[in-house]
Chain A
């Protein structure tokens, strides 16, 4: 059973470009979470999604950031008009959502904005 998959693993964007980060949850998992980790810091929650629904986006910046988890395909975190402060590691986690309490983390996407 493959774990949580994220791609790309490394992404370099110039200021003003768009970044798209993808996350495929573990098989059988229907809940996806996105977290951001700035250098030398802990992870900060961004958004929690189920298929076709955003459940909690309280950690998402109000502008430039959006997330989706369509009926088919991976979850996508989209950052428009990136700035240097967006440089971070973005981790995706998934869970079954029901009964199981544990979140399983993907390898992360390291975004560098130049």
Chain B
């Protein structure tokens, strides 16, 4: 059974600081997603990482994927209060079929950025 683990589960950081969230998964997969969820809201797609070595950046967030290590990271640069939310990684096990299959989600990292 595929397991997806994130750490830390909770992160409190000051504005302006940098930090990294880690996502480990237990079996081979070439597709990994990062989502953001605000309290009581739905999931907002942040990044889709499709291959080993993929790196994507949007604003203060940068995501990378190492399929050999089965590890993805979400790096936060110079955090601002608006980034406070819960961040989930998710793994897609559909392989090369070209169709999306079920996602297995990590436990989530609750990020709190303080002034």
| A residues adjacent to B (C-beta < 8 A) | 31, 33, 35, 41-45, 48, 56, 58-59, 91, 93, 95, 97-108, 110
Contacts and interface: CB of A to CB of B under 8 A. Distances in A.
Given A42-B105, A42-B108, A43-B88, A102 B43 contact: no
B104 A45 contact: yes
Interface residues of B, number: 25
A75 to B, nearest CB: 15
B103 A103 contact: yes
A57 to B, nearest CB: 10
Contacts of A33: 100, 102-103
B93 to A, nearest CB: 10
B54 interface: no
A99 B99 CA distance: 6
Given A41-B107, A43-B88, A56 B42 contact: no
Contacts of A102: 33, 45, 48, 100
B106 to A, nearest CB: 6
A100 B98 CA distance: 7
B100 A45 contact: no
B42 A106 contact: yes
A8 to B, nearest CB: 15
Contact of A59 (B43, B99, B102, B107): B102
A45 B42 contact: no
A105 B42 CA distance: 7
A101 B94 CA distance: 9
Nearest to B88: A42
B42 A44 contact: no
Contact of B100 (A58, A95, A107): A95
B105 A43 contact: yes
B50 A101 contact: yes
B107 to A, nearest CB: 5
Nearest to A95: B100
Given A31-B100, A43-B88, A91 B42 contact: yes
